[in-house]
Structure 1
Amino acid sequence: MLSVQMEQRVNLKFLVKLGKTFIEGYAMSKEEYGNECLSRTQVFEWLKRFKEGRETIEDDPRLGRSSTSKTDENIEETGKLIGEDRRISIRGLAEGTGIDKEGVRQNIA
């Protein structure tokens, strides 16, 4: 099942194919989704992308650090280090795993 955000993108893509203007697209989206509607800026940006020929409704990949450090692999690595030394500090875990201290805290919580 699509999230509400993805569903709106599909509908916006359809509105572009129907030749609706940006204002009409935003008004229709606001009418349908109410408080859950994407912001006006987001609606206009997605309409622009679809009008320029974009086909996918997925977000573009972003550069830089991953958005979360709480992965199964990182949790396992953190647990392994704790198993080896029960007195290891958060700083020690961060250095041992290459995860920032807040990420380590999330993994052990």
Structure 2
Amino acid sequence: MTERVEQRICIKFCQKLGHTCSETIRMIRKVYGDDSMSDTQIKEWFKRFKDGRVSVDSDPRSGRPSTSRTVENVERVQDAINKNCRLTVRELEEDLAIPKTTITKILTEDLGMSRVKEN
């Protein structure tokens, strides 16, 4: 269990016991010290539980994934390299619409290539 989820459980517990938000913040700070959530986050979660929220898990977020270094992208890069081994990182970036930094990591870390031309 991650420490954030653990703290949310504690916040939910305190709210159910009838503690105030400021009391909850003090208790979280006492237990977790420097690793505790910010006051703003504690207040936000306290309010969510007070308003009837049950789950302590984060809500799913939309938008760009945190990384584009997926199995599918590794396969796409490998296929492109297999078709033309003289492609540069920049050409791969343009052809596959994957960031240059991600392509470099795929080539060096996932595919084990040691010489990567970046022009």
TM class by shorter chain equals: 0.7 to 0.9
Greater relative contact order (Cα < 8 A, sep 6+): 1
Q: Structure 1 unaligned runs (5+)?
A: none
Partner of 1:41: 40
Q: Structure 2 unaligned runs (5+)?
A: 109-119
- Distance of 2:100 and 2:66 partners within structure 1: 14
Q: Residue deviations 1:73-98, cap 9 Å, x none?
A: 22222222122222212232223333
What is the TM-score with the length of structure 2 in the denominator?
0.80
- Distance of 2:11 and 2:42 partners within structure 1: 8
Larger Rg: 2
Partner of 2:20: 21
What is the TM-score with the length of structure 1 in the denominator?
0.86
**Equivalent residues, number:** 108
Partner of 2:102: 103
Q: Residue deviations 1:17-50, cap 9 Å, x none?
A: 1111111111111111111101111111111111
